[in-house]
Amino acid sequence: MIPSVSSLPRSAHRPRPEATPYVDLTRAQWSALREKTPLPLTAEEVERLRGLGDVIDLDEVRDIYLPLSRLLNLYVGATDGLRGALNTFLGEKGSQSGTPFVIGVAGSVAVGKSTVARLLRALLSRWPEHPRVELVTTDGFLLPTKELQEKGLMARKGFPESYDRRALTRFVADIKAGKDEVTAPVYSHLIYDRVPGKRLTVRRPDILIVEGLNVLQPALPGKDGRTRVGLADYFDFSVYVDARAEDIEGWYLNRFRRLRETAFQDPSSYFRKYTQVSEEEALEYARTIWRTVNKVNLLENVAPTRGRATLVVRKGADHKVQKLSLRKL
């Protein structure tokens, strides 16, 4: 006799927990994982590293970023061990020398990913195993303003199609391959464009951090339909900085307000015109940009890559990290 649904034990009615590739950790659980890792930064150093409008202090560094630096140090060591195992398997022929450990940091405009990247650079460089840590943002690989205008992409600046994705991928591939010296274009937020003739030089770092909106985007298929190697394929670890879109909008507007009082005042600033109108008019412009550009990019391109990250760092409305999700091995 088949039992009726009503006669089954109560536990049988409960839906099974959804399978997930992540381990979810509360702030307290994550903080405990730092163990005895010392805090190498002072309050003054943290203040210099944080972005405009980003709320971060020594407690946040101790609770969130110290455990992350410890985890990354373990990953770097494990990668070196795996490389040694592979060399043993291959024998002397084809043995690999050490190559840089590459970390991607992704997230929306104004979510605080630049601060995260700078903190990681500062913390990771204090570990004796890997003192040479370089940070590169993808802004330098945005197409020049003139080219964006010619292609009608100025309103899509920051979207995947506004970057020289091939050059960006080649840049990271060359570093990963162990080239002695690799250069990248330099971007200026003041003039809102690449700086003509200026290049950033990276020389065989132990760790490279690549920060940008769309660094976790999968590769686009080529004209022949074949799948190409993408930027994220070179990452050994990746971090996605997450928050509610409504909270990010508030942070974006607050940052715009602060920039209007400071950097936008520079006569050479691309955005100086927004200091010549009332604050309400300037903020209405910022709201429009958020609604028609940044939020659209977040929802269509950036947020869908969250599931590709090794670690998702979830912020609350106060900019404090509330929860972390670490991908299982």
Q: What is the pLDDT of residue 43?
A: 76
Domain span holding position 262: 21-82+98-323
Looking up residue 121, the CATH number of its domain turns out to be 3.40.50.300
Question: Is residue 91 domain-resident?
Answer: no
Question: Is residue 14 domain-resident?
Answer: no
In the structure, what pLDDT confidence band is assigned to residue 6 with cuts at 50, 70 and 90?
very low
Question: Is residue 149 domain-resident?
Answer: yes
Tell whether residue 111 is among the known ligand binding residues.
Answer: yes
Tell whether residue 269 is among the known ligand binding residues.
Answer: no
Tell whether residue 81 is among the known ligand binding residues.
Answer: no
Tell whether residue 315 is among the known ligand binding residues.
Answer: no
Tell whether residue 110 is among the known ligand binding residues.
Answer: yes
Q: Which pair of structure tokens corresponds to residue 213?
A: 């909106």
pLDDT in tens, 291-304: 999 999 999 999 99
Tell whether residue 229 is among the known ligand binding residues.
Answer: no
Question: Is residue 44 domain-resident?
Answer: yes
pLDDT in tens, 34-93: 877 877 777 788 877 776 556 788 889 899 999 999 999 999 999 989 888 888 888 866
Question: Is residue 1 domain-resident?
Answer: no
pLDDT in tens, 179-218: 999 999 999 999 999 999 999 999 999 999 999 999 999 8
Question: Is residue 5 domain-resident?
Answer: no
Question: Is residue 16 domain-resident?
Answer: no
* Beta strands 321-327 and 311-315, pairing class: antiparallel
The structural domain count of the chain equals: 1
Tell whether residue 113 is among the known ligand binding residues.
Answer: yes
Question: Is residue 206 domain-resident?
Answer: yes
Section 251-259 average pLDDT: 94
Quote the pTM value. 0.90
Q: What is the pLDDT of residue 98?
A: 76
pLDDT in tens, 97-152: 678 999 999 999 999 999 999 999 999 999 888 899 999 999 999 999 999 999 99
Tell whether residue 46 is among the known ligand binding residues.
Answer: no
